[in-house]
Amino acid sequence: MPPGRGTASEGEAIYVAKCQACHGEKGTRPDVALAGALVGGMGTLAPDKIPIKTVGSFWPYATTLFDYVRRAMPFQESKSLTADEVYAVSAYILNLNGIVGSNDVIDAQSLPKVRMPNRDGFIPFPRNQK
């Protein structure tokens, strides 16, 4: 994880300027084929439901969010955000999902400690199968 830091409060303006067009206001635009929703879907991964896979409902690690945003976003300008902007946008998306507070500092030390709701929903693949 690179040096830097951000909060959800700081990330909101960056999200509005660089993410909202594709992901919708507050990350809830499921009708966009290009991007899809980032927020919602809690409780939809049960076998009797239609799953809505979002950062909050599906992703197992907050560091995956940071890595994806850092490498691939914004769509037409990938890798254009600074580390501080990526931490802030990640914090904002995590906050929209109710995972971190609006003033929680997200950085290289705190991000790996974020406990995602679906962290235990994945089964590790055994590496030494014969």
Summarize the confidence of residues 2-22 as an average pLDDT: 96
Q: How confident is the model at residue 92, as a pLDDT?
A: 98
Per the model's pLDDT, the better-predicted residue between 28 and 110 turns out to be 110
Per the structure block, which two tokens stand in for 57?
């409902």
Using alpha carbons, select from 73, 80, 78 the residue that is nearest to residue 90.
73
Q: How confident is the model at residue 31, as a pLDDT?
A: 63
The dihedral formed by the CA atoms of 96, 114, 75 and 82, expressed in degrees to the nearest 10: 110
CB burial of 68-79 (b: ≥16 within 10 Å; e: otherwise) equals ebbeebbeeeee
- pTM of structure: 0.89
Q: Taking CA 86 as the corner, what is the angle to CA 84 and CA 91, rounded to the nearest 5 degrees?
A: 95
Q: What's CA 50's distance to the chain center, in Å? A: 21
Per the structure block, which two tokens stand in for 89?
């946008």
- Residue 43 confidence class, pLDDT cut points 50, 70, 90: confident
pLDDT at residue 67 is higher than 90: yes
Q: How confident is the model at residue 32, as a pLDDT?
A: 56
| Domains of the chain and CATH, by start | 5-118 (1.10.760.10)
Per the model's pLDDT, the better-predicted residue between 116 and 48 turns out to be 116
Q: How confident is the model at residue 25, as a pLDDT?
A: 87
